Chains A and B, each alone.
Chain A
Amino acid sequence: MVKNKSLFGQIWDFLRVRKAWWMTPIIIMLILIGILIVFSQSSAVSPFIYALF
């Protein structure tokens, strides 16, 4: 039985096995937006984020 991998490992295996490469840009975009949201909550970086928009 295969041991559980990390989420990124699972996503990579999923994309590879199902050949669902079309999902890659969407997943990357969602991850980047997620990171942006997390970082924008930190006061040190928020002025730069606000400036971007």
Chain B
Amino acid sequence: MYILGISCYYHDSSAALLKNGKIVAAAEEERFTRKKHDNSFPINAAKFCLKSQGISIKDVDYVGFYEKPLLKFERMLSQHMQSFPKSLKTFLSSMPSWMNEKLRIMSPIRKKLKYQGDVLFIEHHMAHAASSFLVSPFKKAAILTVDGVGEWTTTTYGLGEDNNIELMKEIKFPHSLGLLYSTITAYLGFSVNNSEYKVMGLSPYGDMNPLTNKYYKKLQKVIDVKSDGSFKFDMSYFKFHYADRMPSKKLCQLLGSPVRKGESEVGQRHKDIAAALQMVLESIMTKILNHVHKVTNCENIVLAGGVALNSVYNGKILKNTPFKKIWIQPNATDGGTSIGVVSYIYNVILGKKRTFVLKDAFLGPGYSTETVKKFLDKNKIKYSTFKNDKELVDTTAKLLAESNVIGWFQGKMEWGPRALGSRSILSNPCNPEMQEILNLKVKHREKFRPFAPVVCEDDALKYFDCDKPVPEPTDYMLMVYPIFKEWRKKIPSVTHVDGSGRLQTIRRSQNKLYYDVIKKFGSHTSIPILVNTSFNIRGEPIVCTPHDAYKCMMGTGIDYVVMSNFLIKREDNQRDIWDSEKLAID
């Protein structure tokens, strides 16, 4: 039995395919169209899913969609009516897309996919809940989903057991932690639905003491929080429910200045506001989680929704709440709901037993050695061939120890926003200049953002003050933990200002070559940790194909790409036509 899941028309469209209870393929549309956060119908992702299993759409038993469009339409109309006439402009601008595509989702499914069977619509937060619980290692777990907004719901909790999910309580739009985070993100001059993680990264530079951070007290005026974590916004501080900008004048007055312009300097007050926001979020989340534990009396928790990508808070959950184990799927945001849709249809609607646990994120397109070689030869690219895996590992580790920047293109692409060792840029974290080198050569990031470390799972507890045992979400770079003091100065490019690191742990069973390279690098430098950042140029999605990877290297300062079992050196090849650097935008 095959089930195809679709998520689209908001942000990060995706498709996922389930075969007899097992997720066999999943990808986001942006990786194919090369438009970051592409929200169009995921026809390329769907085609990839089908092709990966050698099937056609006729073999698919059900197609599922990640929300109920009419329910969402009801919310849209309701919010516009309540704010009329202030909402007239956004009403007029949003209606064409609703009439043309969002309400008529059956049309592209029938026409583009050429699918004639049944389509099932799963509520958005149920899709989130299913995307985490049904593929988690837990038989029974409390579930918390927190995002911007689905149809009406912004936050929900419940209990999952075997192949059933019961969502018990919900908080509805416009009261939304995700939208609060996005509003302050917009206020700080960053892009919404894209740069929330930058605000999270900025927060440790601010005053993280709730007693002395004046913005913390100010932000508390915006939200009324009850002891069980339920919350209600004072909507006079927001405009997102009727306008195309998020903070209101009143919020700007409360925070003491207008919205920061994108390219202007990030000052101390911006850092303090980011810190205040993070503290407000953490305080509410802790209250909610304590309440969820009390209600469900379960020691396992699974999270989903965009807020579940707040890795700084995720790393504190087991310390701050009674939960003992945590699980988050690698694509916890809207893009990840397509695996929730297929799992929900199979396990809950069709009542089949759960037989699948997501153990790695490598569900995307992969390219055989033959395909890569053909690409290289066709484009007259100069390369050398590794004799075997040992030579590949030894050479790569040596180049990394010499502080070269390596594009690492191996196996199937990652599912979710993080590069986890299939489409990564790797470098030496021990080099104190590596952060600057990477920024200069490739990433052009804001200075306040450090890079992420990757460490073999069996070495993690030596360098990082993780929960024990190391929770599985660290495999997906979803938990931030303190780096032990004695190591901080030895791995400066992955150490944040507060001494933390957003680590990725890797097990050999997940990715043998990647694991071996890290270990071998450790034998050269005594520290088996690498910098792992996504293989892309600023403003573009992570590379997908050999062409994308090669173009990225030639357009940037990446020194080598290790692609399948080939080594390509940038200096050996002509840059001219491949130079995409000038197209880089954020």
Q: Which positions in A face B, CB cutoff 8 Å? A: 1, 3-4, 7, 10-11, 14, 18, 20, 22-23, 26, 30, 34
B119 CB–A CB distance under 8 Å? yes
Please state if B74 and A23 are interface contacts (CB–CB under 8 Å): yes
* Complex Cα spacing A4 to B115, Å: 12
**Nearest Cβ on chain A to B103's Cβ, whole angstroms:** 7
Inter-chain contacts of B95 with A (CB < 8 A): 30
Max count, chain A CB within 10 A of own CB: residue among B70, B77, B81, B349: B70
Please state if A1 and B118 are interface contacts (CB–CB under 8 Å): yes
* Complex Cα spacing A22 to B84, Å: 15
B99 CB–A CB distance under 8 Å? yes
Please state if A7 and B99 are interface contacts (CB–CB under 8 Å): no
* Complex Cα spacing A14 to B70, Å: 7
Please state if B74 and A7 are interface contacts (CB–CB under 8 Å): no
* Complex Cα spacing A23 to B118, Å: 27
Q: Which residue of B77, B99, B106, B349 is within 8 Å of A23 (Cβ)?
A: B77
Within 8 A of A (CB), among B64-80: 70-71, 74, 77
Residue of A nearest to B350 (CB): A1
Inter-chain contacts of A20 with B (CB < 8 A): 74
Inter-chain contacts of A11 with B (CB < 8 A): 70
**Nearest Cβ on chain A to B63's Cβ, whole angstroms:** 10
Residue of A nearest to B109 (CB): A4
B217 CB–A CB distance under 8 Å? no
Please state if B77 and A7 are interface contacts (CB–CB under 8 Å): no
Known: A1-B118, A14-B74, A23-B74. 4 other contacts (CB 8 A): A4-B106, A14-B71, A30-B95, A30-B99
**Nearest Cβ on chain B to A33's Cβ, whole angstroms:** 8
B218 CB–A CB distance under 8 Å? no
**Nearest Cβ on chain B to A1's Cβ, whole angstroms:** 7
Please state if A4 and B103 are interface contacts (CB–CB under 8 Å): no
Please state if A34 and B77 are interface contacts (CB–CB under 8 Å): no
Please state if A34 and B99 are interface contacts (CB–CB under 8 Å): yes
Inter-chain contacts of A34 with B (CB < 8 A): 99
Within 8 A of A (CB), among B91-128: 95, 99, 103-104, 106, 118-120
Given contacts A14-B70, A23-B77, contact A4 B99 (CB under 8 A): no
Could you list 10 A-B pairs, sorted by A, with CB under 8 Å? A4-B118, A7-B103, A7-B104, A7-B106, A10-B70, A14-B71, A18-B74, A23-B77, A30-B99, A34-B99
Residue of A nearest to B104 (CB): A7
* Complex Cα spacing A13 to B76, Å: 18
Q: Which residue of B70, B71, B77, B119 is within 8 Å of A4 (Cβ)?
A: B119
Residue of B nearest to A18 (CB): B74
* Complex Cα spacing A44 to B74, Å: 36
* Complex Cα spacing A11 to B69, Å: 10
Contact flags B27-60 to A (C-beta < 8 A → 1, else 0): 0000000000000000000000000000000000
